[in-house]
């Protein structure tokens, strides 16, 4: 859902300048992504806003060399000559883990995929644990895709452990994973946040409507899409966006402090 928000921001900004947006969803498929890039070139688009599955595809770099600019919404690997804008994912992971530690959680679990953004979120969580004044641990579970169904599967796997072996705080790589985890845990009788606190990432619309409203890290996704369009149109420079997309912790019921009576 976060990519839909980026696309909506880009579309609104383009419309404000009399431009139109073609929206393409790769559905996490590099092959489909490459096919869309070739399609865009055949349609002679004037620019591309890209949030790739992994590294920047060679087809996109070739498109740029042939005169069609692009803006990367994400982390640019290595030296690069194209504009790239992103939220501070390391800071977001740090905020999420620091929040759980401040709630007294000490056995943390990070569940996330293999995207560079997720690596940065994990690095931030590790930094928070390393800086903690109280002893704390951080276990990591990697998944191939970050969907609610996968989150529910991870919850079932966790519940095969004895209750004493469960984490008391979970950080998810995105909100869909977190919502799947939340569903799987609650169905099995785990009380959230009494037994376990949970933090997602991206603050999608569904986070506030979960059976237990989900604490999450918010990035201004629509603003990222709008800025990317302004950069393509030459209205804004990449440097102008520095510090504009800082993450924000949005606290909801999945990580409220628990009182002495055991209630949130």
pLDDT in tens, 54-71: 889 999 999 999 999 999
CA of 38: how far to CAs of 33, 41, 45, in Å? 9, 5, 11
Residue 263: predicted pLDDT:
52
Two tokens, residue 212: 């237990």
258 DSSP assignment = P
88 DSSP assignment = -
User: Could you give the CA distance from residue 64 to residue 70 in angstroms, rounded to a whole number?
Assistant: 7
Closest C-alpha to 166, from 107, 97, 104, 100: 107
CA dihedral 219, 60, 64, 21 (to 10 degrees): -60
Mean pLDDT of 109-124: 94
| pLDDT tens string 10-45 | 999 999 999 999 999 998 889 999 999 999 999 999
Those residues with Cβ within 8 angstroms of residue 188's Cβ, 6 or more apart along the chain or in another chain: 155, 156, 159
Q: Is the pLDDT of residue 77 over 80?
A: no
Mean pLDDT of 135-162: 96
Domains delineated in the chain: 2-86+220-242 (3.40.50.2300), 89-218+249-255 (3.40.50.2300)
Q: Is the pLDDT of residue 253 over 90?
A: yes
Percent of the chain with pLDDT over 90: 80
On whether the pTM is more than 0.85, the answer is yes
Instruction: Give the pLDDT band of residue 261 (cuts 50, 70, 90).
Output: very low
| pLDDT tens string 202-242 | 999 899 999 999 999 998 899 999 999 999 999 998 887 77
Percent of the chain with pLDDT over 70: 97
Residue 257: predicted pLDDT:
81
User: Could you give the CA distance from residue 246 to residue 2 in angstroms, rounded to a whole number?
Assistant: 16
Burial class (CB in 10 A: 0-12, 13-18, 19+), 34: middle
Beta carbons of 105 and 261 less than 8 angstroms apart: no
Write out the DSSP string of 49-78. EE--SSSPPHHHHHHHHTT--EEEESPPPS
263 DSSP assignment = -
Q: Which residue has the higher pLDDT, 67 or 257?
A: 67
Run of H or E including 23: none
User: Could you give the CA distance from residue 238 to residue 4 in angstroms, rounded to a whole number?
Assistant: 22
Residue 238: predicted pLDDT:
82
Mean pLDDT of 135-141: 97
Residue 198: predicted pLDDT:
98
Q: What count of Cα atoms within 13 Å lies in the side-chain half-sphere of residue 146?
A: 24
């Amino acid at each position: 859902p976060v990519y839909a928000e980026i696309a909506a921001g880009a579309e609104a900004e383009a419309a404000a300048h009399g431009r139109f947006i073609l929206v393409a969803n790769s559905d996490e498929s590099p092959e489909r992504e490459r096919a869309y890039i070739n399609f865009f070139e055949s349609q002679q688009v004037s620019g591309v806003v890209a949030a790739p599955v992994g590294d920047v595809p060679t087809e996109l770099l070739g498109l740029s060399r042939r005169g069609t600019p692009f803006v990367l919404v994400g982390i640019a690997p290595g030296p690069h000559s194209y504009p790239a804008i992103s939220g501070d994912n390391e800071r977001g992971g740090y905020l999420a883990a620091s929040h759980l530690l401040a709630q007294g959680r000490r056995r943390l679990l990070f569940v996330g995929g293999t995207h560079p953004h997720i690596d940065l979120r994990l690095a931030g969580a590790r930094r928070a644990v390393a800086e903690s004044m109280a002893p704390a641990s951080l276990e990591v579970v990697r998944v191939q895709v970050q969907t609610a169904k996968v989150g529910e599967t991870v919850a079932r796997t966790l519940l095969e452990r004895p209750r004493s072996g469960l984490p008391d705080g979970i950080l998810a790589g995105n909100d869909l994973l977190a919502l799947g985890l939340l569903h799987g845990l609650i169905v099995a009788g785990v009380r959230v946040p009494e037994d376990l606190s949970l933090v997602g990432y991206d603050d999608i619309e569904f986070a506030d409507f979960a059976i237990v409203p989900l604490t999450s890290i918010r990035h201004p996704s629509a603003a990222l899409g709008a800025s990317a369009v302004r950069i393509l149109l030459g209205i804004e420079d990449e440097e102008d966006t520095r510090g504009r997309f800082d993450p924000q912790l949005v606290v909801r019921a999945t990580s409220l402090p628990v009182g002495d009576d055991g209630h949130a």
